[in-house]
A and B are shown apart, each in its own frame.
Chain A
Amino acid sequence: MRVGITACGHSGFSTGGGAGPAMAAAAARLLRDYDVDPGSVDAVIVSSNEGAGYLGPILAEGAGIRPGAAHRVENLCSSGASAIISAYAHVASGLAGSVLVCGADAAGGPGLVLDWDATRGAFASPVYWASILSSSYKRRFGATAADLAVIPARNSANAEENPHALPGGPGSVEDVLCSREVTDDLRLYECSRSCTGAAAVLVASGPGDGAARITGIGQATASASFAGGPEFLPLKSTADAASAALLMAGRRPAEVGVAEVHDAFSVCEPMALEAAGICAPGTGAAYAREMLETGSRRINPRGGLLGSGHPPGATGVAQAAEAFLQVTGRAGGRQADSATCGMIHNMSAAGTSSSVIVVES
């Protein structure tokens, strides 16, 4: 069965407010903007790290939806893509004809730190694994802090065309390099910002004109702990998930015309592009500079996590909403060229697990 994304909705990403109102706003905008009858929605899947329970039925009741299934998916920062893939499975199996997926989290909420992970010792905050990955990337490929500073500057510039993005990103590479030193290998603007926000997509059977077909899905889970697992291979899960998704779609990395990748920290973007085969090893940062100079919107056109803000439950859904807008030619001022094949990459906990989805017009 063909399954696709047929509609999307957003709340603005901001520093205040709760996840509940953001979630309700994103769902309401989807229903209104795409003229979706709430009675036609068969299931509701919420992606969130919020402590409060029963968010699926709460969202459904507020939106006037009387679904069969209404439940929540939690998978830290990749809750959103995980929820969309669950929705795909509902539709592909015939359990539901259409599923509203809505991701939301609040600024400073849970879902960013994995307290369980004893292998991290005193270094539990994500800035520490990101620092290790950044240091490692520089050491292996001779990349400099200035090379990596291009990534947040470019993604922040892209976010200027995204009306839902959290304002306040860096205006230039200089801004990034002059921002506060968080660790020896990370400046403040190299870290995505926790914020409040929500995004919604409708996943439905038999997508027609104006929809984005979901043609590829790949997921991989290497471990839960940063330092555990049989071997230490950063973003191996991304390589495995991207390879599986592209194989299912029958596409090569070069055919991906637009991609939203999980740039939780600056180094994550080149590492993800290299793991997915879009860039050769060690060339991802130089590619960001090239895109900055040419104005290419191929990668992270909505601004990625660095430019848009990162409410972990919403991020994967916002990425999918962007891919839907891009491949259907609705992305306005941030439209990428040749964007008929789109990819999203959403990952959790230092890239110990990854989800990749390919969508096509």
Chain B
Amino acid sequence: MDGGMDGGAFLKSVSEGVFRVPWCAACSIPVWPPAPRCGRCTGPAGLRDGEPEGLVLEASGAAGTRFGLVDLGEGVRILAELGGRAAVGSRVRVTSCGVRDGRPYYVASDAWM
């Protein structure tokens, strides 16, 4: 391991624009930060069905882009661009994601309905 990112199936899904929580079915826990295998049982990490709903814990902004710390539950948290009117305390979903310059990006918005 060279210290680079190796998010396994999670990053592949993110690159296709679909945010799914990396999940170990055997342990019933998220594999977070994302990794190809579960750190507890070493079994392969899969992806849990369904889009997680989250809460904006903290927020700031830079160069006209708002971003925040989003808690998706069970210890899964991300730094995401905030879309819609999302602010601290908003319920959000990851409405867009992808991989740019080798890094994942996430957009969380309160306007998914």
- Chain A interface (Cβ within 8 Å of chain B)? 115-124, 127-129, 131-132, 134-136, 139, 182-185, 224-232
* B79 close to A227 (CB less than 8 A): yes
A115 and B3 within 8 A (CB): yes
User: Which of B3, B62, B100 has the most CB atoms of chain A within a 10 A radius of its CB?
Assistant: B62
* Cα–Cα distance between A228 and B34 once the two chains are bound (Å): 10
B88 within 8 A of A: yes
Q: Is the CB of A118 within 8 A of B4?
A: no
Q: Is the CB of A132 within 8 A of B5?
A: no
Q: Known pairs A116-B33, A121-B80, A185-B60; list 16 more (Cβ under 8 Å).
A: A118-B5, A119-B77, A121-B104, A121-B106, A122-B103, A122-B104, A122-B105, A128-B62, A132-B59, A134-B60, A135-B60, A185-B61, A226-B79, A227-B69, A232-B57, A232-B69
Whether A135 and B59, one on each chain, are in contact in the complex, defined by CB atoms closer than 8 angstroms, is yes
Question: CB < 8 Å: which of A118, A127, A229 contacts B75?
Answer: A229
A135–B4 Cα distance when bound, in Å, is: 29
Is A183 touching B77 in the complex (CB atoms < 8 A)? Answer: no
* Bound form: Cα–Cα A225–B34 in Å: 10
Rounded to whole angstroms, the CA-CA distance of A227 and B72 in the bound complex is: 11
* Cross-chain contact A228 with B79 (CB below 8 angstroms): no
A-B contact pairs, 24 of them (CB 8 A): A115-B5, A116-B3, A118-B10, A118-B104, A119-B78, A121-B103, A121-B104, A121-B105, A122-B81, A122-B100, A122-B103, A127-B62, A128-B79, A129-B79, A132-B58, A132-B69, A135-B59, A135-B60, A184-B60, A185-B61, A224-B33, A227-B79, A228-B77, A232-B57
User: Interface on B for A, CB 8 Å cutoff?
Assistant: 3-5, 7, 10-11, 32-34, 57-63, 67-69, 71, 75, 77-81, 88, 100, 103-106
The residue of chain B having its C-beta at the shortest distance from the C-beta of A138 within the complex is B60
- Which of the residues B4, B58, B100 comes within 8 Å of A116, measured between beta carbons? B4
Q: For the complex, what is the distance from the CA of A227 to the CA of B106, rounded to whole Å?
A: 13
Smallest CB-CB separation from B35: which chain A residue? A118
CA distance in complex: A182, B61 (Å): 10
Contact A132 B62 (CB under 8 A): no
Which residue of B is nearest A127, CB measured? B62
Bound complex: CA of A118 vs CA of B63, how far in Å? 22
A131 to B60, CA, bound (A): 6
* Shortest Cβ distance from residue A136 to the other chain B in the assembled complex, whole angstroms: 5
Contacts of B69 in A (CB 8 A): 132, 227, 232
Cross-interface CB contact of A139 among B77, B88, B100, cutoff 8 Å = B88
Most chain B CB within a 10 A radius of its CB, from A123, A127, A228, A232: A123
**Contact partners of B63 in chain A: CB under 8 A:** 183
Interface centre among A119, A127, A226 (most CB of B within 10 A): A119
B3 touches A132 (CB 8 A): no
A115 x B60 contact (CB < 8 A): no
Distance from B4 Cβ to chain A, minimum over Cβ atoms (Å): 6
Please report the C-alpha to C-alpha distance between residue A177 and residue B106 in the assembled complex, in whole angstroms. Answer: 31
Query: Whose C-beta in chain B lies nearest to the C-beta of A184?
Result: B61
Q: Which residues of A lie under 8 Å from residue B34 when comparing CB positions?
A: 118
Inter-chain contacts of A183 with B (CB < 8 A): 60-63
Select A227's contact among B3, B5, B77, beta carbons within 8 Å: B77
Chain A residues whose C-beta falls within 8 Å of the C-beta of B58 in the assembled complex: 132, 135-136, 139
Which B residues touch A116, using CB under 8 A? 3-5, 33
A121-B105, A228-B33 as given contacts; A131 in contact with B75, CB under 8 Å: no
- From B4, B7, B32, B75, A115 is in contact (CB under 8 Å) with B4
Q: How far is the CB of A190 from chain B (nearest CB, A)?
A: 13
B77: chain A residues within 8 A (beta carbon): 119, 227-228, 232
Give A128 to B61 CA distance when docked, in angstroms: 9
Closest residue of chain A to B80 (Cβ to Cβ) is: A121
Contact between B75 and A123, CB atoms less than 8 A apart: no
Also in contact, A184 and B104, with CB within 8 A (given A118-B33, A128-B79): no
